Structure 1
Amino acid sequence: MGWFHRDKQHKNPTAVQAQLRDTQRHPFGALDGYVPLRNGEIALYRSIREAVPMVDAAILKLIRLAGGVHVKTLDQGAQAGLEHFIRTVNTGRGQRGLQSFLDGYLDAMLTCGRAVGEIVLSPDHRDVAALLCGDPASLEIKEGASPLEFALCLRKADGMVEPLPRQDLLLFTPFQPESGSPYGVSLLRSMPFLTGILLKIYQAMGLNWERMGNVRFAVVYKPGDSLDRAYAQERSQQIAKEWSAAMQAGKAGSVRDFVAVGDVDIKVIGADNQILDSEVPVRQILEQLVARTGVPPFLLGLTWSSTERMSTQQADMLTSELAALRRSLEPVVERICEWWLRLHGFDQWVEVVWEDISLQDLVEEARAALYRAQADQIRQNMAQS
């Protein structure tokens, strides 16, 4: 009782909170509390693509530029059937063709750090009925005694991990796997920190324009003599009514003057405050994000580097990046084609042929080929003479 009595006697008055402010945040709050894990956070990486359109556009351009696959076999009869299979194989959700499967497969590999697919056989096990992409988030890997032994597992509702029955029909590709981890690394692994800063800048810009873009006015009436002070309340109400009527007339498209008697001062609220310049920090962050994707800025509509030679070098670097992505997809294409050839009784030898990546000016390429031909002709003439 003594402690309670003492608290009542010496209780300090609490401070009055004079201002309430809404703590508005951007809709991608998971980016603020991100902690890097070994296998990555797939939901977080998908939020990055949704939050930053430039990152999403860069990944889509990588997927589209990496396309264009063809295969070659030893048997001409198998060649025609295999080409028909590549064009017409069912890939789910109303899509057909091996390229549509590879687009989704590569999308998951870049975003999630790993991609998983399945070869679906027909009921009689004599043909490949469909190619389907799986959700990497539900995939678990169980390693064996050696790095060559591993099994793809699915986590059940009760938390138990169960290996999938037909491992030979499953397709799995990790993206740039690190030593000691079979899951691969997402292309967006280094982006959450910078993306969080970028979204904070955009959120602050939106709030500032909402507060200052829609101009608000402060109308101050200063009464003069004692007579004005006596009628200050009535005059202020009259001024407020007339000012509101003038503003409403402006919304309707008409011009209405505001006339007041006495010392009336009209100011724009927030006009003296200066909004921070966001061009430099936003560009610095976007440069880091775009550099991670490997896509030249000019392909995304950015004019950071406008010199012709620099654009040519960036296009050459992108070509090497696309070639590396294609090398990651080649084993998947080979396994799919080998399954089709095996089920139809053909030789399983298959060669994957990709379309040429052309990001250069065709006129410049033709001129370079002409110069090489002229140089060869000059060397031949010198050797004959």
Structure 2
Amino acid sequence: MILFELVPFDLLRVVWWVLLGVLLIGFAMTDGFDMGTGALLPFVARTDIERRVVINTVGPVWEGNQVWFILGGGAIFAAWPPLYAVSFSGFYLAMFAILAALILRPVGFKYRSKREDKRWRNGWDWALFAGGAVPALIFGVAVGNVLQGVPFRLTEDLMPIYEGTFYGKFLGLLNPFALLTGIVSLSMLIMHGAAWLALKTEGDIARRARAYGTMAGLVAIAGFALAGLWLAFGFEGYRLMGQVITDGPSNPRYSEVARDTSWLAAYGARPWILVAPVLGFAGMSMALMKLRGVGEVSALLWSKLGILGVISTVGLTMFPFILPSSIDPKSSLTVWDASSSHMTLFVMLICVIIFMPLILLYTAWVYKVLWGKVTEDDVTSNSNNLY
């Protein structure tokens, strides 16, 4: 018997759905505080030396953190090709805006301190702000649009056709619910960045970070609650009808999909998934309390738990859907009919089993080496400091 046949196809599909979630959560937990720190930079740091301190808290680690983003994009491409084709083409302009903002970050890090000119440095500081705030906002906007359904359809030969216009491909994404989820994403990552700065800095910077992080945390919690109510009463969800074939061919048009009364119907069918929003609220609330009181490491850890809960809430609420269609529900992509082949998923899983522990060990070692606060003396006295 061929080895990959020992692992059922339906199990591999679920495993890769989980792994995709792990990669996205890993990206939000690590690069999320980089983006949050960038969004806070012009506000928590008033002087040039303070801004250099803030930049040096993330400068040595942001490239490694962004690996999770690259791995997530690669996993979508290899494990869920239809998802990659529809989302990266339908959200093309939004993706371009994210990449343009992310490009500002390395350029800002490298060039900001090359000149003593105040206007030069201030301009790059605002570029770093955009490099953090814009992706954090647009990622949340994208999630809001996915929950509402994306205007695409599949032809009989499975060619995806996105029906949106130029307006729909970018400006149309900025609808009220999507803007709400964007605000939740932005405020949640700002709180995460504030928790990071409270851990890595001291004095006025840490005090301001705690204050801004507290405000952002309140917005994130309120926005998350409002988004849940909107999901319950604002628009319909999706559900699979009839017999669901979990190990059949990857052809979304084989599935029977209908609109449901609400996405929250999933909680009636699978009550255990309620643990995800509970973790989201609990993590963000505890992070908020730690930011207001004492607790540096714990504030960051609670913030990570909140991120885990919020992102898991979206994935578990939608399961098994990964990209519903608003104009042709039958074209909606699900875990059971939008994956790569059995062999492809198996080979990729072997690669993950080999390389993921190495990535985690290397990441842990880097953070161990760089553990400790960044002070003004560190920035001014270290001749090797590039930021």
Same fold (TM over 0.5): no
* Greater share of strand: 1
Bigger Rg over Cα = 1
Query: TM-score normalised by the shorter chain: which range applies?
Result: under 0.3
Structure 2-normalised TM-score? 0.26
Which structure exhibits the higher relative contact order, with contacts defined as CA atoms closer than 8 Å and separated by 6 or more residues? 2
